[in-house]
Amino acid sequence: MRMRGPVLALGAFMWLAASSAAEAKEYRYPAWGFAVSFRTPPKQTDTPASANGSTARTMLLESIDAGRDQLVNVIDGSASTKSDEQALADAPGTLARSVSGVIGPMTYVATTGGVVGREFRLARPGQPAARVRVFVAGKKLYEIISQSTLGPDDPSVTQFLNSFRLIRS
């Protein structure tokens, strides 16, 4: 019976902590062809294509909240000569090189609309492992990345990744 008080107190604390977590809200980006849910409003960074064509136009969304870093990076590939399949095959290695990361096991994943992509873990020195999904659709490369101090199996990581969906512009 002595344990009942501490157990009830712990249960109440956990319930309060869970109920105080921000609800995810969907944000739609029709010009970029997708929607995704964040717990806090994301910071948006738009980068135009370079005049000489060496870098593509991009849009980056990032939300950092309670040890969770969630982002979507979209790269406009309309000027690329690569096929969608080649862009999808190249994306994981290009991303890993750009952040000095190492790619973990890769699996196939699909959006709710059936667009096939890849999912993998990305390890970087001194950082928790991130889970990454990449898709190519409509000459756009989508990188959906979620990293948590609780690790890649944190339910909020899966919730964020699963919230991404392609929409018609």
Nearest to 72 by CA among 151, 163, 148, 169: 163
What are the structural domain ranges in the chain? 22-166
- As a whole number of angstroms, the distance between CA 6 and CA 58 comes to 51
Q: For tokens 């960074």, what's the residue?
A: 45
Query: pLDDT tens, 126-164?
Result: 999 999 999 999 999 999 999 999 988 899 999 999 999
pLDDT of residue 2: 52
Q: Torsion angle, CA of 24/106/102/46, rounded to 10 degrees?
A: -40
Q: Long-range contacts: 5-11, Cβ < 8 Å, 24+?
A: none
Please give the backbone phi and psi of residue 40, each rounded to the nearest 5 degrees, phi first: -130, 150
Does domain 22-166 fall into CATH 1.25.40.10?
Answer: no
Query: pLDDT tens, 76-134?
Result: 999 889 999 999 999 999 999 999 999 999 999 999 888 999 999 999 999 999 999 99
Query: pLDDT tens, 37-57?
Result: 999 999 999 999 999 888 899
Q: Is the pLDDT of residue 11 over 60?
A: no
Residue 122 · residue 105 · CB < 8 Å: no
pLDDT of residue 112: 86
pLDDT of residue 54: 85
Specify the pTM: 0.85
The model's confidence at residue 17, banded by pLDDT at 50, 70 and 90, is: very low
